A and B are shown apart, each in its own frame.
Chain A
Amino acid sequence: MDNSKSMLISRRKVIKVSAVASAALALGIFPGRMVKADTVKDAPSNPSQVGFMYDQKKCIGCKACQAACKSANKWEEGAEWRRVLTSEKTKAFLSISCNHCDKPACVTVCPVSAYTKREKDGVIIHDSTKCVGCKYCMYACPYHAPQFSDDTGRITKCHFCYELQDNGENPACVSICPTGALTYGNLTKLRQTQGGITQITGLPNSELTIPSWVIIPKA
C-alpha cells in the first residue's frame, strides 16, 4: 500500500519535473538561439540614426580617441567613456564606447528615466543629474558603456558629443583620430560600407541591443 503510494508520487513527480524542465529549457534556450543572419545591410529603425564606424585595419592603438574623450567630456573618477582594447591573439585593437543601440537595454531598465534616445539622430543621452546610482544599467548593457564613479555616486557615459554635433562639429574622438580609423555618420549609409560588419565573434550577440556601429575587421 505504502509502496504503491510512493511509486505514484514519484511517477507524478517525474512527469511534473519533466514538464517544468522542458518549459525551463524552452525559456532558457530560446533567446540565445534567435540569431538571425546579421548583415551590414540591416537598416536601423530610425533612418537618421548616427553611428560610429571603426576600421580595425587603420587603427594603430595610439589611444588618442580615449584621451580626447576624457579631456572633452571631463570623465568623472573611474568612469571610462571610451576604451581601446587589444586582442591578445591577433594584436588587433577595438575602440569602443556607447553604441547608441537601436534596442537600448539602458533606456529600458533605468527606473528614473535618466536615459533618452534622441528622435533626431538616435543618440542616447544619460542625464546624470537624474541618476540615482542603482547600477541596474551596468548589468543591462552588454558593452559596459554606462560607467559608475564612486566619487560622485552616479553613472555617466558617452553621449556622442551631441552638443558638438548640434554645432556641426565632429565628436572629439573622431576629430583626433590620426589615421581615420574612427569615423561616424548616418548609420544607414555606413552600413553600405564594403567589408563592414556589426557582429564580432566573442562580443555579445548584436541581436540583444542592435548596436549602431559598423566594424571593418582586420582579418
Chain B
Amino acid sequence: MHWHWLIVIYLFLGGLGAGAYLTSFAAEKGWLGKKSRLNKAGYYIAAPIVAFGTLLLVFDLGQGLHKPWLLIRLLSNFSSVMTWGVYILSAFIIVGLFKGYLTLRNKPVPQGLTLAGAILALATGAYTGILLAVVKAIPFWSTGIMPILFVVSALSTGLSLTSLLTPLVDEGDFGEGREGEAHILLVGAELIIVAIFLGTMISGANGPAGQESAALVVSGTYAIIFWGCFIGLGLLFPVVVFIIQNLLFIQAAKQVVTEPSVKTGESAATIQKGHHSYLTIGTDISVLIGGFALRALIIFAALPIWDGQTIP
C-alpha cells in the first residue's frame, strides 16, 4: 500500500465536487423537476471542493512542499492518466469558479461555460476512476467498471451534499423536485455496479490478487467498513429512506389533488417539513460517509499482481 488517507480524501473530494456541479446543472436543466432548488448550491461548492482536494494531493507528494517547482512538469506526460487529471482538474476548477461566481452574483452565464463545466465535471469524476483502472499491475483496479462506479458514486454524493447545503443558501419554497427519484436511481445503480464489480473479482476473472482484494473487502480486514459504512450507511439505509419519502411525497401530492378542501399551502408545508427533517439530513450525511468509505476500500484493498517477494 503506497497511497494513504490523503489520496482517499482527494479521490472522494474530486468526485464530490464534480457531482455537486452536475447536480446543480441537472437542476438548472430541469432534469430534477420543474422547481428543483438545487440549481445553485452545487455550483458554489464544486470548484472549491475540487481545489481543496488537489491541494491535499500536493501535500501527499514526496516533493510537494520540498521542491514545489517540480510540479509544473506534471503537465508533461500525455500518456499518463495523472497528467490528464492535472489538466482536467485545473480546467474544471477555473470554469467552476467562474460559474459559481456568476451564479452567486445572479449574472448571466454563457451557455457554453455552463456546458463546458458539466463536461469537465463528468471528466473529473471519470478521471478518478480511470487513474486506477489503467493500472494493470493492480488487478482490483484494472477493470472498466471502476470509472463507472466512481462516476455514479460522485453523482450520488454530489446530490446529497447539494441537498444538504441548499436550505442554507436559498430560503425559497421547496418545489416539487425529483431529487428523491434521482437518488433512488443512483443508489440503486451503485448497488448493482458494486455487485458486478465484486462478483467479477471474486470469480477470479482478474486473477488471484483480485480475488484476495475482494476477500479483504467482503470478509476480511475491511469487512466492517464495507458492510457497515459502505453497504449499510452508504447504500441500503438511504435507498430505504428515499423510497419511503418518495411514497409519502406521492401520497401527499395525491391528497392535494383529490381533497381540494385541504389547503395547498398546508400540504406543501408538510412536504417541506419532510424534506428538512433530521432523517433527510442524516440520510444525506450517510450517503457521504458511504462515498468516502468506497474510496478508502478501493485504495486500501489494492493488492499487487505479485508481492515482489514470493517465488515458486
Q: Contact at B137–A204, with CB atoms within 8 Å?
A: yes
Q: Given A111-B80, A136-B82, A148-B62, A32–B206 Cβ distance below 8 Å?
A: yes
* B2 is an interface residue with CB less than 8 A from chain A: yes
A133: chain B residues within 8 A (beta carbon): 61-64
Q: Does B102 contact A (CB under 8 A)?
A: no
One of B27-35, B36-44, B140-148 at the interface = B140-148
CA distance A134 to B304 in the complex (A): 17
Q: Which single residue of chain A is at the shortest CB-CB distance from B85?
A: A111
Known contacts A17-B196, A21-B196; A132/B64 CB under 8 A: yes
Instruction: Given A20-B192, A24-B144, A202-B310, answer yes or no on A132-B74 (Cβ-Cβ < 8 Å).
Output: yes
CB 8 Å contact bits of B1-35 with A (1 = contact, 0 = none)? 01100000000000000000000000000000000
Task: Provide the residues of chain B in CB contact with A23, threshold 8 Å.
Answer: 144
* Interface check B113, CB cutoff 8 A: no
Bound together, the chains give a CA A13 to CA B199 distance in angstroms of 17
Q: Counting CB contacts under 8 A, is A68 at the interface?
A: no
The answer to whether B205 has its CB under 8 Å from any CB of chain A is: yes
Q: Report if A200 contacts B (CB, 8 A).
A: yes
Whether B145 and A27, one on each chain, are in contact in the complex, defined by CB atoms closer than 8 angstroms, is: yes
Residue in contact with B74 in the complex, picked from A29, A87, A112, A144, CB distance below 8 Å:
A112
Q: Mark B296-309, 1 if CB is under 8 A from A, else 0.
A: 00000010111011
Selecting from B65-73, B159-167, B229-237, the interface stretch reads B65-73
Q: Are A144 and B63 in contact (CB under 8 A)?
A: no
User: Is A37 in the interface zone, CB < 8 Å from B?
Assistant: no
CB contacts under 8 Å to B, within A139-159, are 139-144, 148, 152-155
Decide yes or no whether B207 CB sits under 8 A from chain A: yes
Contacts A32-B207, A131-B63 given: A143-B306 contact, CB under 8 Å?
Answer: yes
**Chain B residues within 8 Å of chain A by Cβ, number:** 50
Nearest to B134 among chain A residues (CB) is A109
A90 on the B face (CB < 8 A): yes
Chain A residues within an 8 Å CB radius of B86:
111
Complex contacts, B196 vs chain A, CB 8 Å? 17, 20-21, 24
Tell me whether B135 is interfacial, beta carbon within 8 Å.
yes
Bound-state CA distance A87–B205 (Å) is 27
Asked if B215 is at the interface (CB within 8 A of a chain A CB), the reply is no
B205 and A32 within 8 A (CB): yes
The verdict on A1 contacting chain B, using a C-beta distance below 8 Å, is: no
Given contacts A24-B143, A94-B311, A136-B80, contact A208 B136 (CB under 8 A): yes
Q: Which residue of A lies closest to B192 (CB)?
A: A17
> What separation, in Å, do the CA atoms of A148 and B3 have in the docked complex?
12
Question: Is B205 within 8 A of A153, CB to CB?
Answer: no
Q: Which of A28, A143, A144, A205 contacts B145 (CB 8 A)?
A: A28
Cβ of A197 < 8 Å from any Cβ of B? no
Chain A nearest CB: distance from B244 CB in Å? 16
A interface, CB within 8 angstroms of B: 13, 17, 20-21, 23-25, 27-29, 31-32, 83, 85-90, 92, 94, 105, 107-113, 130-136, 138-144, 148, 152-155, 200-205, 208
Residues of B within 8 A of A (CB): 2-3, 60-64, 66-67, 70-71, 73-74, 76-77, 79-83, 86, 134-139, 141-145, 192-193, 196-197, 199-200, 205-207, 302, 304-306, 308-312
